[in-house]
Amino acid sequence: MTAVEAMPGEASEFDSSVWRERGAPLIRATGVGVLNGRTVAVKDLYAVAGFPLGAGVVEFLGGPSPAHAEVVSRLLAAGADIAGIAHTDELAYSITGGNGKYGMPVNPAAPQCVPGGSSSGSAVAVARGEADIGLGTDTAGSIRIPAACQGLWGIRTSHGSIPTTGVLPLAESFDTVSWLTRDLATLKAVSECLLPEQGSGTDELVSDPEFIIDPALCAPADVELAAASLFAARHLGAVETAMEADLGTWFTAFRTVQAFEAWKNHGEWLRAHPTALEPEVAQRFQFASTITTTEALAARAVVESAAATLRAALRNRILLLPTTATLPPLRSASPDSLESGRTRTLHLILQR
């Protein structure tokens, strides 16, 4: 049985497109709790004590991390073992799931298609049964997109709800601790471990959710996906509504703030290592290097206004949207096709 065909709980060969480090386990649990017996694939943005942090870039590897990221410590204390450190798209600035140095892992659900990223290694490890939990980050879909591409459960937590101490940032205004699993029970168990206790208002919302959908907000998606989303939403009893949303303006503002922060975090290192990245990601950082502080401040005001608009429109209701604008692209898709799909998907992602 090959690595791709391995069933949950079975050992498989080491796949260097999925894992940077792997053990049996790599690190044992330090406590007992809701995650007893479960294993975690840790995205290579989280500090793991004794191992260098790589961020999907060979040249980025340095000395061993002196301590675990806070979230890694919490998972270990709750009874989870660390199965290994899983690859990410370079510096997490992509949603395709590929990596020029380490390769693109095979999507177990659709081998001819991309796995989705940037938490591609964590997602594939979970989909293949090599880990129960894929710990990742979600700045602009990096958990939700691979979950959708591979038929997994995925959650992007509310920004700021879980500490990112010990996590390499991309754009801290949008970075979140997030994860994916094969089943809902495990997803909820991780939530019990990592999320703060919920107040009565949230409990009421979860127990009796009210769904809404705006057909206009689904417009960035392919016609077939938008139609399927509308059908599913109506089946769930969602109420159709019209929200005031300027997706083009919101997207430009999001892209500007994200790029400005990405360059602030990594620009100095990239200047010292100008050939470290593959062209796709390097081009994004080249754009990021051109954003001025004035432009970033103006864009941030638009982002904050957009968030306020959405909060006022939702009023504790749940907005349903397609996760991606297209079906998982073929691995053979052209760069232009991938970039077009990425842009349309980000128009959907930024609404959540």
The catalytic site residues sit at 43, 118, 142
The helix/strand/coil state of 211 is strand
* Bond prior to 207 in cis (omega within 30° of 0): no
Q: In what order do the strands lie in the sheet with 153-156?
A: 19-27, 81-86, 39-43, 133-137, 177-181, 153-156
| Two tokens, residue 197 | 């206790």
Give 212's DSSP letter.
Answer: E
Count the neighbouring beta carbons within 10 Å of the beta carbon of residue 318.
14
Alpha-helix residue ranges (DSSP H) falling in the chain:
70-77, 120-127, 144-150, 184-194, 200-207, 223-235, 247-272, 279-288, 293-314, 335-349
| One-character DSSP codes across 23-66 | EEEEE--SS-STTTT-EEEEETTB--BTS---TT-GGG--SPBS
Q: Judging by beta carbons within 10 Å of its beta carbon (0-12, 13-18, 19+), is residue 109 exposed, middle or buried?
A: middle
Listed residue (314, 335, 348) closest to 96, CA to CA:
335
Integer angstrom CA distances of residue 310 from 227, 313, 318: 23, 5, 11
Q: Judging by beta carbons within 10 Å of its beta carbon (0-12, 13-18, 19+), is residue 351 exposed, middle or buried?
A: middle
Q: Judging by beta carbons within 10 Å of its beta carbon (0-12, 13-18, 19+), is residue 248 exposed, middle or buried?
A: exposed
* Cα dihedral across residues 232, 111, 132, 139: positive or negative: negative
